[in-house]
Amino acid sequence: MLLDVSRLLIVHHTPSPALQAMFEAVVAGASTPEIEGVEVVRKAALSTTAVDVLEADGYLLGTPANLGYTSGGNAKK
């Protein structure tokens, strides 16, 4: 039987060790074996393309915040 697989695109900008650790925890949670039928795709913000976005079924954006603004890496996509 073929399973319908959804694609989760995780776009991240992780300039610090703390944000890198948070990103890795998110990926681990999204990739856990208990979650079936989801392909997890990880892309750095500055290397994400329109095709990546259009091919995804869901999105998770990880970015540092500075006074409530997202980082330039994510804001320009």
Q: What is the pTM of this model?
A: 0.80
- Residue 37 in any domain: the answer is yes
Burial 40-52 (b: 16+ CB within 10 A, else e): bebbebeebeeeb
In a domain, 39, yes or no: yes
Q: b/e per residue, 4-19, with b = 16+ CB within 10 A?
A: eeeebbbbbbbeeeeb
What is the extent of the structural domain holding 35?
6-75
Q: Quick check: 40 and 30 in contact, CB under 8 A?
A: yes
Q: How confident is the model at residue 64 (pLDDT cuts 50, 70, 90)?
A: confident
What is the structure's pLDDT at 1? 47
CA distances from 35 to 21, 31, 47 (A): 21, 7, 26
Residue 1 lies in a domain: no
Q: What is the CATH number of the domain that holds 19?
A: 3.40.50.360
**pLDDT single digits (tens) 40-61:** 999 999 999 999 999 999 999 9
